[in-house]
Structure 1
Amino acid sequence: MNVAGTATAAPLLSVEGIVKTFPGVRALAGVAFDCRAGEIHGLVGENGAGKSTLMRVLAGVHAPDAGTIRLRGTPVAFDGPQAARRLGIAMVYQDTRLVGELDVAQNVWLGHEPGGGLIMDRAAMERETARLMARLGIAIDPRRRVAELSTAERQLVEIARALATDAAVLILDEPTSALAAGEVERLFAVLDGLRREGRSIVFISHRIPEVLRITDRVTVMKDGEVMATLDTAAADAGTLVRLMVGRDIAMAFPPKAAAPGAVRLEVSDLSVPGRLGGVSFVLRAGEIVGLGGIQGSGQRTIARAAAGLMPAQGEVRLDGQSVLGIGARRAIARGLVYVPADRRRESLFLPHSLRENVAVPHLTRWSRAGILERGREAAAAARTIERLAVRTPSPEQAVSALSGGNQQKVVFGRWLLAEPKVLILDEPTQGVDVATKLELYRLVREQAARGTAVLLLSSDVLELIGLCDRVLVVAQGRIVDEVPSQELSEERIVGAAVTSEAGATAAGAAAARAGVGYGSLLLRRYGSALLLLALILALGAYTASASPWFLTQRNLGNLALQVVPLALAALGQLAVILLAGVDLTVGPLISLTTAIASFLLAADDAGPVAAGLVACLGTGLAVGLGNGLLIRLFRIPDLVATLATYSVVFGLALIVRPSPGGSVAGGFMDAVTWKLGTFPVVAIAVLALYLVAEILLLRGRLGARLYATGASEEAAYLCGIPTARIRVIAYAFSGLAAAVAGLVIAARIGSGDPQAGIPFTLSSITATVVGGASIFGGRGTAVGTLLGCVLLILVQNALNQLHVSAYWQYIWTGALLLVAVGIYTLQRGRRT
């Protein structure tokens, strides 16, 4: 603590009379709070007290309904997180807001990448990220994908990102909830250094001992109001808890079981290649068994493998019956339930109501002839709210609007209704307040008393000691010690883990130094493109051997010209699909462009041709902007919005040119189809365009923003990225690209045709997805998309060369799309 140094300092950040209301909930009621320069200010309170809401107001995420925010004494207002960041306020969120598809360096610098102009300085990003990681005392390769990191590693990356902004005010919301003891010590050393530099740090935590240790002052909140602000030196745990809950709470664990019952779960020689080696243990009815050790030693792998959530060898028996490999659904039906640590990603359906979240696993049991009994569902939701004291205005409240502790109560309530035989709990009290934590302890012990066998994973050693009947210490993917209740101590658990981890730590450090090689990076980004290239070469070789006309200059030139419009349309489609969207208007817009061109590009005079080109391109841009604004302003899903405009644009194409006709100026046709040797110049131009697009996606700021917005729009927004603007720009670009593709087709056919572009809607999506783009957003390359276009056109050409009916091309297109999506889905399943 540094009370003397901060007692007279002026507030760097202060708020007065802050009010914030959500539907049915008054989250903040006239809050006043300040943080001085060179101070760590603790903020504590029960879940739902308003701590995170207040900090989100300060970080620009929420706009206050009333009140004043002052920075260095000057009133300020934020129109979003980007504005708060510009003024020097950075926040680390309780549930990390990182983009899994991006690597560590990209996440750390997202929204403020080093470098000038359009291109990022990748070397500087990696160098500075490594420096920040070293400052935190951890070895994480800047090139590793965040999706591959553990929960604790993601938390540290989030902290590094906040440090990278060099913010004057740093807000930390539960920064230690996923960290091991050593990582907490390193973080505290960093925070102490920042305090000496004169930074203001707001430290939110439910771990009262940590708050008392690291902070200079502490503010207690309850029900959206500030109860008191105390000098930490004059505070103690009892005082803080009493202010938080309004009463004294006995900080005690419930009594342990007298004697466990029969064996419920028997795990024998459980192995996961490279992660677990021959793990064996039993769980008995009525007992709580902990998995302890250094984080990342295999505890979570044991739990997930035993629950059937990942492939494993060995034997897992529930009441004598094998459950290994039967899948999560069947395991749950037999009474084996796993409650994951990451409640936002793996436990909750955030947009849906509390009632719906509670009911999900029980829909079959609560239904008759396929019709859900609403009465049972409503009663179960009400029982959960009452039994677990969930703070919510109603069962219809969206779970996303609840605090972290109340979200965890919803998860608990859901599974308690299932009356499981075995309950595997992964960090069940992570990020919850003291009162909720004690309530969850009581519920877990009560459930065990009903005959449930409980397997508990926790990074809190004291929690393992106080709650568990036995603790299995895990190191290097093996159980190295089993500690009975009467022998449980922090020294015994940590000592066993550290002694056995010595070799693993050295190996891990060596692996971290080895890092992610360029070969791995190239394979990660271009693996699907290489497969496509091999398929293209194989198909080309076969067709060349079967048809003497395939490799003629005329055929190759025709192939290149056919690829051009599809490549243009697919590039626009890629921009949209990277955002997890889709543009169905591509085909009709191409048709409309040819129809307009057949009227406005009929003369060879330069003036009318130029005006016609502007009209065609303007039409494409207008349609694209219209799609983007529909999605942005009216919150219409991408699929629905572009499906509606599909009909509108197709109708316009039929009105302008009901049937094929008209003409396009010969000069324009010659310019578009002009060849340089074998290949059309327009094809060379498109190749150059794709090269530029790949560079921008790989090293450009725009590429990072596209990937981030598509993979996690919320995370991108909280980093200050204008996600709505990016979506509008992407659709505008897609419309413009489709219009250019329409002009190329008009030059090829020499007239207007309202049906000419219709196949391009499906083919542009197929080429993009076959090229490796994810329909879920955040993943894809320009190189892969171009190869996807080449493959589709090559298939059509090969069918013609081999005298196969042209109708087969539709079957091949659909089959390729299914295969591409299927491969990605399987890969995604293996990663998770």
Structure 2
Amino acid sequence: MSVTDLRKRFGPTHALRGVTLSAYSGRVLALIGENGAGKSTLLKTISGAHQADSGQMQIEGHLYAPSGPHAARHSGVAMIYQELNLAPDLSIEDNILLGQKGTGGGLLIRSRQRDIVRRALDQVGLRHLSPSDNTGQQSLASRQLIEVARALASDAKLILLDEPTSSLPKADVARLFEIVRRLKQQGLAIIYISHFLEEVREIADDYAVLRDGESVGSGRLDKIDDSQIVSLMVGRDVDDLFPNVPHTPGSERVRLTNLSGAPYPQQVSVTLRRGEIFGVAGLVGAGRTELLRTIFGLDYLREGKVHVDGKSIPHRVRARMRAGFGLLSEDRKGEGLAQDLSITENITLGNTRRYAKAGIINLSARRTDSQRWAWKVEVKSHSVDQSVSELSGGNQQKVALARILQQDAEVLLLDEPTKGIDVGTKAEIYRMMGELAAEGKTIVFVSSYLPELLAVCDRIAVMARGSMVEVRNADDWTQEEVMAAATETQT
């Protein structure tokens, strides 16, 4: 597969400004770049979801210009999106065969179809599943592999993977990588988007870096180091991927006493200090998200107390917000932001009374305030009137952070704030967290990415089965010790 000088505009926005790259059979090409660099637009253009304004694509030396995703599939190109594109109420067989050619001159020959489905499932390690099983009842990892099986059933020559591991636990990531290696051995070409450089190193052979819709570098991965890749991504030298802003934890601000939910958390007791970044590690399902939601008053509280400055706070969201709590949800699209509203409306959600007088909202004051917060967290946009849905993932996350800061939150509950964000924007988020801690704010930072917890936090707690099993200063942990603490009570 080759792409030459590909260009694509959406109104005044140049999404692709002349992208050139090549993907080879039996190799994985890592497509790398910041949020908004044009990676997803490029894959959607290759897969037929968008039509290029100019430029040329070729497959096996033949011109390729699909009229849509269906035409791309019949040309051997299969796209697997980060947000899975399956019909959960249909069977696995029906999902795999959606959009495929018939097996009998316009007639559906179920026996042949089932053979195709079984072969595809076998190729992705899902031999134990029955084609008649309901798709929606499968695990997230299995559904991801069902998408791959669908690509194989269409005789794909090129598979496009857009952040396939963003929601998978470590064991399922390893399983997916094993399938990708097997597909390489079968001679398929794979283009793979990931924000994790260690993932890229493990699975990819070649790289191509996009910046602001342009190709800025490509080649073999073994010929370039991580700092050079990041420099290509952001257009400048990056000395520190984990900026360390000096801050000193102070006196106790929050005390959790025997906090228990249904079923999680379980008997969590800990104190949180002013000016502290308190990390929470653990496996998927350990109760980390439930802990934050219970602290914020969203989830049911079976027993326990939350004290702020020695005062017990009622278990209601409004009471917790008045006490200075702000929650940044892991589910940015579903819970963290109103996608169809503007940046201004999202930043000021939940605090519009600040701009109201006699029942009338001062729109000018609200817009000015949102501009100030958008500037503070460095949101990149045309204006604060722009819809949040039009922003990159990293800028959406900054808007969500600005919203809780605008609410005067002093205790920030951040659930996977760097999930799905490029390394350059991650560094900005880490710097912001350090600056907020230096201002005296208390930050509770949930993450599945251990390097960032160890680099950014003052203390780290490990959770397992809803319980906080151990708390240490970050300098006293290693990655191996964190994983051991997370797993020893899970087995």
Is the structural similarity TM-score above 0.5?
yes
Judged with a 3 Å threshold, the aligned counterparts in structure 2 of structure 1 residues 267 and 179 are, in CA distance, closer, same or farther, namely farther
- Does 2:454 correspond to 1:462? no
Judged with a 3 Å threshold, the aligned counterparts in structure 2 of structure 1 residues 266 and 395 are, in CA distance, closer, same or farther, namely same
CA contact 2:86–2:147 (8 Å) conserved in 1: no
Instruction: Quote the residue 1:692 is aligned against.
Output: none
Q: CA deviation at 1:480?
A: 1.8
- Per-residue CA deviation, residues 140-197 of structure 1 (Å, 9 max, x unaligned), is x954746xx8xxx536623431333212211122222333333332222221111111
Judged with a 3 Å threshold, the aligned counterparts in structure 2 of structure 1 residues 164 and 266 are, in CA distance, closer, same or farther, namely same
CA contact 1:98–1:158 (8 Å) conserved in 2: no
Task: Pick one of 271, 276, 280 that aligns with 1:287.
Answer: 276
Name the amino acid aligned to 2:196: R
Task: Pick one of 427, 451, 455 that aligns with 2:440.
Answer: 451
Judged with a 3 Å threshold, the aligned counterparts in structure 2 of structure 1 residues 195 and 130 are, in CA distance, closer, same or farther, namely closer
Q: CA deviation at 1:470?
A: 1.6
How is 1:232-631 mapped onto 2 (pairs within 5 angstroms)?
232-251=221-240, 252-255=242-245, 257-273=247-263, 275-319=264-308, 320-323=310-313, 325-326=315-316, 328-502=317-491
CA contact 1:306–1:324 (8 Å) conserved in 2: no
Judged with a 3 Å threshold, the aligned counterparts in structure 2 of structure 1 residues 267 and 67 are, in CA distance, closer, same or farther, namely farther
Q: Give, in whole Å, the separation in 1 of the partners of 2:440 and 2:22.
A: 50
Judged with a 3 Å threshold, the aligned counterparts in structure 2 of structure 1 residues 95 and 386 are, in CA distance, closer, same or farther, namely farther
Instruction: Quote the residue 1:820 is aligned against.
Output: none
Judged with a 3 Å threshold, the aligned counterparts in structure 2 of structure 1 residues 96 and 457 are, in CA distance, closer, same or farther, namely farther
Q: Give, in whole Å, the separation in 1 of the partners of 2:273 and 2:344.
A: 32
Q: Give, in whole Å, the separation in 2 of the partners of 1:414 and 1:483.
A: 31
CA contact 1:14–1:32 (8 Å) conserved in 2: yes
Q: Give, in whole Å, the separation in 2 of the partners of 1:203 and 1:449.
A: 38
Instruction: Quote the residue 2:81 is aligned against.
Output: 93
- Structure 1: give runs of 5+ residues left out of the alignment: 1-12, 503-832
Name the amino acid aligned to 2:79: M
Q: Give, in whole Å, the separation in 1 of the partners of 2:465 and 2:116.
A: 32
Q: CA deviation at 1:98?
A: 5.1
Judged with a 3 Å threshold, the aligned counterparts in structure 2 of structure 1 residues 162 and 55 are, in CA distance, closer, same or farther, namely same
Q: Give, in whole Å, the separation in 1 of the partners of 2:373 and 2:86.
A: 31
CA contact 1:70–1:76 (8 Å) conserved in 2: yes
- Does 2:30 correspond to 1:50? no
CA contact 1:126–1:142 (8 Å) conserved in 2: no
- Does 2:5 correspond to 1:25? no
CA contact 2:330–2:415 (8 Å) conserved in 1: yes
Q: Give, in whole Å, the separation in 2 of the partners of 1:310 and 1:325.
A: 9
Judged with a 3 Å threshold, the aligned counterparts in structure 2 of structure 1 residues 454 and 110 are, in CA distance, closer, same or farther, namely farther
Q: Give, in whole Å, the separation in 2 of the partners of 1:309 and 1:198.
A: 49
Instruction: Quote the residue 1:83 is aligned against.
Output: 71
- Does 2:147 correspond to 1:161? yes
Secondary structure at the residue paired with 1:248? coil
Q: CA deviation at 1:497?
A: 1.3
Judged with a 3 Å threshold, the aligned counterparts in structure 2 of structure 1 residues 382 and 110 are, in CA distance, closer, same or farther, namely farther
- Structure 2: give runs of 5+ residues left out of the alignment: none
Q: Give, in whole Å, the separation in 1 of the partners of 2:373 and 2:339.
A: 17
Q: CA deviation at 1:496?
A: 1.0
Name the amino acid aligned to 1:39: R
Higher relative helix content: 1
Percent of pairs identical after alignment? 32
CA contact 1:108–1:158 (8 Å) conserved in 2: no
How is 1:689-708 mapped onto 2 (pairs within 5 angstroms)?
none
Q: Give, in whole Å, the separation in 2 of the partners of 1:95 and 1:37.
A: 26
CA contact 2:216–2:232 (8 Å) conserved in 1: yes
- Aligned residues, how many? 480
Q: Give, in whole Å, the separation in 2 of the partners of 1:244 and 1:250.
A: 13
Q: Between the two structures, name the one with larger relative contact order (CA 8 Å, sep ≥ 6).
A: 2
Q: CA deviation at 1:329?
A: 4.2
Name the amino acid aligned to 1:169: L
RMSD: 3.0
Q: Give, in whole Å, the separation in 1 of the partners of 2:433 and 2:167.
A: 20
Instruction: Quote the residue 1:183 is aligned against.
Output: 172
Q: Give, in whole Å, the separation in 2 of the partners of 1:221 and 1:237.
A: 15
Instruction: Quote the residue 1:62 is aligned against.
Output: 50
Q: Give, in whole Å, the separation in 1 of the partners of 2:297 and 2:94.
A: 31
Which structure has the larger Rg over C-alpha atoms? 1
CA contact 1:267–1:279 (8 Å) conserved in 2: yes
- Per-residue CA deviation, residues 398-435 of structure 1 (Å, 9 max, x unaligned), is 22222111211221222222221221111110111111
Q: CA deviation at 1:134?
A: 4.0
Higher relative strand content: 2
Q: Give, in whole Å, the separation in 1 of the partners of 2:427 and 2:94.
A: 36
Judged with a 3 Å threshold, the aligned counterparts in structure 2 of structure 1 residues 124 and 383 are, in CA distance, closer, same or farther, namely farther
Q: TM-score, normalised by structure 2?
A: 0.88
Q: Give, in whole Å, the separation in 1 of the partners of 2:166 and 2:74.
A: 28
Q: Give, in whole Å, the separation in 1 of the partners of 2:407 and 2:18.
A: 42
Instruction: Quote the residue 2:98 is aligned against.
Output: 111
Q: CA deviation at 1:232?
A: 1.0
Q: Give, in whole Å, the separation in 2 of the partners of 1:242 and 1:495.
A: 34
Instruction: Quote the residue 1:202 is aligned against.
Output: 191
Judged with a 3 Å threshold, the aligned counterparts in structure 2 of structure 1 residues 438 and 359 are, in CA distance, closer, same or farther, namely same
Name the amino acid aligned to 1:294: L
Name the amino acid aligned to 2:251: G
Q: CA deviation at 1:459?
A: 0.9
Q: CA deviation at 1:366?
A: 2.0
More displaced stretch, 70-79 vs 31-40: 70-79
Q: CA deviation at 1:461?
A: 0.8
Judged with a 3 Å threshold, the aligned counterparts in structure 2 of structure 1 residues 46 and 465 are, in CA distance, closer, same or farther, namely same
Judged with a 3 Å threshold, the aligned counterparts in structure 2 of structure 1 residues 345 and 129 are, in CA distance, closer, same or farther, namely farther
